[in-house]
Structure formats: structure tokens, C-alpha cells
Amino acid sequence: MSFPSLLRGSAPQPTPDSGSGPVVAFEDAAVAFGQRTIWSSANLELGPGEFVGLIGPNGTGKSTLLRVLLGQVPLARGSVRVLGQPPGRGNPAIGYVPQRRTLGADLAVRGFDLVMLGLVGDRWGFGPASAAERHTVEEALEAVGASAYAYRPVGLLSGGEQQRLQIAQALLTHPRLLLLDEPLASLDLKSQHEIVHLVERLRVERCMTVIMVAHDLNPLLEMLDGIVFILKGQVVAGSLDEVVRSDLLSELYDTPVHVHVTSDGHRFVVGA
């Protein structure tokens, strides 16, 4: 299923050089590790500037789906294209925040250096950063609002501050597609909302397509154009109206889930 009608009025228009084709296109795609199929029947098209949530219980293959787009996991069947091309490793058009590893309190490296690693980390010998590289890092730190604490040890920063640094690192190449793997996990409610609003602002400013893997839908509901979920090994895409329903979410999570709709039309998901 595609989201052609879901692109909201607020979504930025693609610039002439950004191409008008889909940013992500899966066609009857399936992934298997050995004999075990993780998911199949992925038919999905995402356009420029769309923001989708990718949800489902642990182990259903959400991270794997992102890794397919990154060229790290091959398809067993079907096809996938990112900006019209087959996935390839190190694609600068993709920004990626991997599933969170909590950074230890003893991590003495500064935020600035952590983000700089995203630029020069694979350069042999590392060496001093150029003025242009330092500028690129400063710009990314500014974009995520992390300049004020960029020179403090990362291990002493809050979860939300650390997450901003990871997002800054993902922005270094000015990606057209931003993949965020559970960026809200283990953040308090306030930080969750701040990160969601940050991502939303960046999406609009930079006309990025965003796929965010999430457990709790509530912080995201206001922002999403659509939802992708993996149920019984099938990848399914739908609008919020189609997906954010008590029956479907209860089946997806295999536990009673209730969707409340407030008088002004806002949805709220309550787990049993």
C-alpha cells in the first residue's frame, strides 16, 4: 500500500533537483535469515517529506527493515529502491540513528567529538579535522539544539541530550531519508515529546522522509502521515484511521489495547 493521498499540506514540496519519484519503494519484498522468513509481502511507497511510524512487537523485523534500506540486509524476494536506486552501503542520502545503546556515565568523549566521528570515523588515521568539517559538525549540533552542551562529556548528558547528538550525527550528510530506530526508548515523557518535535521540525526544514520505529504511538500520533506495522510476518501500511484502532492494535501487540478519541478528535492509545 502506498500513501499517495497522505502527504499533508504541511509537507514541504520537493525541490526541482530532488526528484519526484518515491524515496522508498518496496515491491513484494521479503527478508529471510537462513530458512526463516522474517517478513514478506512488503509493498510500500514513501514520498518526499513523509513521516511514518514503524511499529510492532520486539523481534518482528523492524530494525531489519531499516537495515534493508541501508543495504546491510539483502532481500530474499521482491525489490526495494531508495531514491530510485538499489540500496547500497554508506549511502549519504540516508541518515540513520541505530537502536539505542545507552552511553555509559564514564564516557568522557565530548558531544562535539562524538558527532565528528560520524564524519571522519572511517578515515584512516583519523587526523585533525578540517575547518570545513568542524563547521559541518557545528551546524548539525545547532540544528538539533545541542550547541550548549556539545563540549561536555557525553556520559554526563541526559538521555534526551544524548539522543540529540545521535540525530546530529545522522544529519551530517544532509540526508533525504532519516531512519530512527526507537529513538524514544528509555526517554522520559518530556524528552520524548522534545525529540518528536525536533524530528518534525527537521523533516519540514529539510524536506526529509522520516521512518521512526516506535513502541509507544502516543507521542507520535499528531505528526505521522501513516503507519507501517509488521503483523504475522506481513508488512502492512495504512493511514492513522486504518491502523490506530483498538482491534488492530490489540491483535498487533497480542494484548488488550484501547484507542480513546477525545472530543476534539485526538487519539490516545492505552495499553492494558
Ligand X SMILES: Nc1ncnc2c1ncn2[C@@H]1O[C@H](COP(=O)(O)OP(=O)(O)O)[C@@H](O)[C@H]1O
**Contacts with ligand X, residue ranges (CB under 6 A):** 33, 38, 56, 58-64
Contact residue for Mg ion among 60, 63, 163, 209 (CB under 5 A): 63
Q: Which residue, 111 or 183, has its beta carbon nearer to ligand X?
A: 183
- Number of neighbours of residue 77 by Cβ within 10 angstroms: 14
Interacting partner of 60 out of ligand X, Mg ion, none (Cβ under 5 to 8 A depending on kind): ligand X
**What is the helix, strand, coil percentage profile of the chain, to 5?**
30, 25, 45
Shortest spacing between CB 69 and Mg ion, in angstroms? 14
Residues in 24-43 at the binding interface with Mg ion, rule: CB under 5 A: none
Shortest spacing between CB 61 and ligand X, in angstroms? 4
Binding mask 191-230 for Mg ion (x = CB under 5 A): ----------------------------------------
**Residues 4-33 as b or e (16 or more Cβ within 10 Å = b):** eebbeeebeebeeeeeeebbbbbeebbbee
**Residues 41-72 as b or e (16 or more Cβ within 10 Å = b):** ebbbbbbbbbbbbbbbeeebbbbbbbbbbbbe
State the Cα–Cα distance between residues 167 and 73, nearest whole angstrom: 22
State the Cα–Cα distance between residues 46 and 211, nearest whole angstrom: 9
Q: Which residue, 12 or 233, has its beta carbon nearer to ligand X?
A: 233
261-267 contact pairs (CB < 8 A, 24+): 266/221, 266/222, 267/221, 267/240
Residues in 84-123 at the binding interface with Mg ion, rule: CB under 5 A: 99
Shortest spacing between CB 61 and Mg ion, in angstroms? 8
162 binds Mg ion (CB under 5 A): no
Q: Which residue, 55 or 165, has its beta carbon nearer to Mg ion?
A: 55
Shortest spacing between CB 12 and ligand X, in angstroms? 29
Q: Which residue, 50 or 181, has its beta carbon nearer to ligand X?
A: 181
Contact set with Mg ion (CB under 5 A): 62-63, 99
